[in-house]
Amino acid sequence: MYRNDLVCSWTVIATDNTKVLLEVVDLQMEDGYDFVMIGNGLDPGDSSTLLKSLTGNAKIRTLTSSENGMWLTIATDGTTTGRGFHINMRRILHTNGRRSIAKP
């Protein structure tokens, strides 16, 4: 469960020549009022890099960054909350047009 009136951002930076793969395992937010926003790069303040804005029980499974960074911001209003979200992130290698999960 998450709090009301929350704005919190995270930035994930992978090594050079890799991208970030994000997997939404579970998402249950107050529909239309509480959001998880996901974007490319390192600047959550740059709305032009937004990949997806999730609310409610969004059914998206995976997103892949176009570079080696991805940001995630949660923004909630002042009333109802939901269960929240469970997201996994990992870096992936891109070689010859194919992708593979990078070892830690």
Collapse the DSSP code of 9 into the 3-class scheme (helix H, G, I; strand E, B; otherwise coil) and give the result: strand
Q: What band does 95 get if pLDDT is binned at 50, 70 and 90? A: low
pLDDT tens for 82-93 read 999 999 999 998
Q: Is residue 27 domain-resident?
A: yes
Q: Is residue 90 domain-resident?
A: yes
Q: Is residue 21 domain-resident?
A: yes
Task: Please state the domain count of the chain.
Answer: 1
The answer on pLDDT for 96 being more than 60 is: no
Q: Which two structure tokens, joined as six digits, stand for 19?
A: 């991208």
Range of the domain at 65: 7-101
Q: Which residues of 36-45 are buried (b: 16+ CB within 10 A; e: fewer)?
A: bbbbbbeebe
Report the CATH number that the domain containing residue 72 is assigned in CATH: 2.60.120.290
- Check residue 59 and give its pLDDT: 85
pLDDT tens for 5-49 read 999 999 999 998 899 999 999 999 999 999 999 999 999 999 999
**Nearest 10 degrees: Cα torsion 45, 47, 50, 54:** 80
Q: Is residue 2 domain-resident?
A: no
* Average pLDDT rounded to a whole number, residues 64-70: 94
Within 13 Å and on the Cβ side, how many CA atoms surround 52?
Answer: 15
Number of Cβ within a 10 Å radius of residue 99:
14
What is the pLDDT of the chain when averaged over all its residues? Answer: 91
Indicate the pTM of the whole model: 0.87
Q: Is residue 76 domain-resident?
A: yes
- Check residue 51 and give its pLDDT: 96
